[in-house]
Amino acid sequence: MPISYNEQERIFRLDTPRTTYLCGLAGSENFLGHVYYGPRVPDDNMGYLLRLEERPFTPDGNPGERASFYDCFPFEYPAWGGGNFRQPCLRTAQGGGSCELFYDSHRVFPGKPPLEGLPAAYGENCSTLEIVLRDPVSDIKVHLLYTVFEDVDVITRSARVENGGSAAVDLTAALSASLELDNEDFDLITLHGSWAREQTIDRRPLASGKQAAFSLRGISSHQFHPFLALCEHSAAQEHGLVYGMSFIYSGNFLAQAELDQFNKVRAVLGIHPDGFSWRLEPGASFQTPEAALVCSGEGLGGMSRAYHDFFRRHLIRGQSKRRPTLLNSWEACYFDFDHDRLLHLGQEAAKYGVELLVVDDGWFGRREDANSSLGDWRVNEEKLPGGLKHLGEELAELGVDLGVWMEPEMISPDSELYRAHPDYAMAIPGRTPSLARDQYVLDLTRREVRDCVYEQISAVLRSAPISYVKWDMNRPLTDVYSPSLPRSRQGETAHRYVLGLYELQERLVTDFPDILLENCCSGGGRFDPGMLYYSPQIWTSDNAEAVDRLVIQEGTSLIYPLSAMGAHVAACPSHVNGRITPFQVRGRVSLPGCFGYELDLDKLSPEEQALIPGQLEEYRRCGPIFRGGDCYRLASYRENGAYDAIMAVTKDKSAAVVSFVQVRSRAYRRSLRLKLAGLEESALY
């Protein structure tokens, strides 16, 4: 069994194929403490790692030092108060926020339960441990869920907080997971950036105090990513100890590592407590989103491959969907198009064998620029006589599928919807709401707003032979308030917005199961596991310029499979940074991801046009290996400033592919020797 309980040692044991996770009970009050997480060990007689024989001892052995015990005990799910001055996972507004959690019960069962209203991992070959903790004063119960998968070195964790008392309770913190570790000369790895430079890897020595990646923007954000890793300072791609924590959520988050006075690390992951609260009436419960934990003894590459397999097998429901090569209209013509222009793009796509034409922004309402019509999801038949249906039928005759861009979460002040329902836009009473990109955010916490949006977009999808949808979101949440909630409960709004978004996308993929959904948020502003649950690929960045993309795609592939990354050959000079990059290089950089073109094919030189068939054939031949194989980072342009190399090997090790990009060269320098990885040593390739 991958999960067991040693009654004599009072230790819970969870085994993945190559790692072991232990937590156990301490003292007569049954504190739940973290014991061990690391490479697989043969037994669970490791309770000594709780250090219960050291001062200040457990409170039953030394009641005069209860606060000192709380200050150093490695709580499995720490609550605020009692002397716990480190970051808590649970805090309430009542009783000074203090809460003491003690073991109440547990059970082990096959499979994995879904999390209501939330994206979460799934699978049959897995087992789940539920440990119930209880505060005897407030009668709050915390149900800790741990799931172990038989085929990947990942453990998922979440918490369900239940109010078993007779009075309402307001949660002011409810994080998903905590991990207590001895500091092993750790480096902290996070991903940071901004628009057009997302997912940049930041690695630095762990210092005393708190270091965090976070978002308070209502989205997971371009600035930080809902992930952290702790690794030995000597760890490299294929050796060294690495711990990863990834958050399956798309809103405000906190990913934090805290190095304390005893050289111990508490790493926590969950919904950011700032601005958060949740009212629990008697009998009600709150479910936290899920965290995915990885421990790798094979360096950063081992962590990456564990996450890649986990996301492909246990989170991305559309992983097996066909990923067509596409031509997107955005950088080809922006808003300046009509039916004939789009049809010509389709004809050019068909000539080269591109499979899908995506009509980007500008096909609806009176949308001639970015200043109007969001919320009016009706085809502009002055631009497109006969609508998307007519265009789709003509494209089908060419052998080209039709896709469309949408931004369902937004509303323009200059729109029919806003003039009819200005209250649908998020705004704080008495304050002027903040515009961004000349648009407001729709209040998705309200069912009538979600229904209004969904009825419009579903009517469009039913009206035409649409096989692909790009769902965009181009601004953060600023005026986080909803009239659907009383003022005392506005701390629930940001999370309820995310739940509303999940409900909308769940309806879409359920009603239109054959459509390929690609999420986008000004590029990679919401590239997170929560979104991958609904869409098997995400637009990685609005910056598709090849050299910048090397850095962006390296950071993204640290966690996510290459099959999740939208990667296009864009116009040149780059519309984002003005750089001129050879067409062949742009194709090579895009090859490992979901391949497409974001330009006017007519404007390419004859020499560049002649390269297109070869690029498409290379993608069809090598793409399945990149998307489904084991990934190895051979070289990092971000680190060496000269070249980049990534490699993928099929699961049966029968084939492999290497993508190498030389960015800079030096005069009179001999060729480079790359050391390959992941191959069968006795095989000939």
Backbone angles phi, psi at 600, to 5 degrees: -90, 110
44 given a catalytic annotation: no
Q: What is the pLDDT of residue 44?
A: 83
- Whether the per-residue pLDDT at 668 is higher than 80: the answer is no
Give the mean model confidence (pLDDT) for residues 241-247: 98
- Whether the per-residue pLDDT at 544 is higher than 90: the answer is yes
- Whether the per-residue pLDDT at 575 is higher than 80: the answer is yes
Distances (CA, A) of 518 to 407, 464, 482, 594: 12, 18, 28, 10
Of the residues 414, 542, 548, 644, only one is catalytic, namely: 542
Q: What is the pLDDT of residue 665?
A: 86
Q: What does the pLDDT look like over 385-399, one tens digit per residue?
A: 999 999 999 999 999
* Structural contact between residues 542 and 523, judged by C-beta atoms closer than 8 angstroms: yes
What percent of the chain stands above pLDDT 70?
A: 100
Q: What is the pLDDT of residue 663?
A: 95
Q: What is the pLDDT of residue 551?
A: 98
Q: What is the pLDDT of residue 61?
A: 86
Give the mean model confidence (pLDDT) for residues 602-620: 97
Q: What is the pLDDT of residue 610?
A: 97
Q: What does the pLDDT look like over 108-124, one tens digit per residue?
A: 999 999 999 999 999 98
- Whether the per-residue pLDDT at 463 is higher than 90: the answer is yes
Give the mean model confidence (pLDDT) for residues 73-90: 97
How would you class 136 by CB atoms within 10 Å of its CB: exposed for 0-12, middle for 13-18, buried for 19 or more?
Answer: exposed
Q: What does the pLDDT look like over 27-74, one tens digit per residue?
A: 999 999 999 999 999 988 898 999 988 888 899 988 999 999 999 999
> Which band of pLDDT confidence, cut at 50, 70 and 90, is reported for residue 379?
very high
- Mean pLDDT (the chain) is 97
Q: Which fold has domain 3-314?
A: Beta-galactosidase; Chain A, domain 5 (2.70.98)
What percent of the chain stands above pLDDT 90?
A: 95
* Structural contact between residues 161 and 171, judged by C-beta atoms closer than 8 angstroms: yes
d(CA 404, CA 535): 15
The secondary element (H helix, E strand) that includes residue 282 is none
d(CA 104, CA 90): 17
202 given a catalytic annotation: no
Tokens (6 digits) for 429:
């009473």
Of the residues 472, 479, 548, 644, only one is catalytic, namely: 472
Within its chain, how far is the Cα of 431 from the centroid?
33
Within its chain, how far is the Cα of 45 from the centroid?
36
Q: What is the pLDDT of residue 670?
A: 83
Q: What is the pLDDT of residue 378?
A: 97
111 Ramachandran zone, left/alpha/beta (phi>0; psi -120 to 50): left
- The dihedral over CA atoms of 213, 215, 219, 220, expressed in degrees to the nearest 10, equals 0
Give the mean model confidence (pLDDT) for residues 533-538: 98
Within its chain, how far is the Cα of 221 from the centroid?
10
Q: What does the pLDDT look like over 129-184, one tens digit per residue?
A: 999 999 999 999 999 999 999 999 999 999 999 999 999 999 999 999 999 999 99
> Which band of pLDDT confidence, cut at 50, 70 and 90, is reported for residue 205?
very high
3-state secondary structure 598-650: ECCHHHCCHHHHHHHHHHHHHHHHHHHHHHHCEEEEEECHHHHCCEEEEEEEC
In sequence order, what DSSP letters do the residues of 408-470 get, joined into one string?
A: TTEE-SSSHHHHH-GGGB---TTSPPPPBTTBEEB-TTSHHHHHHHHHHHHHHHHHTTEEEEE
d(CA 38, CA 485): 44
What is the end-to-end Cα distance of the chain in Å, rounded? Answer: 39
Burial letters 555-577, b for 16+ CB under 10 A, else e: bbbbbbbbbbbbbbbbbbebbbe
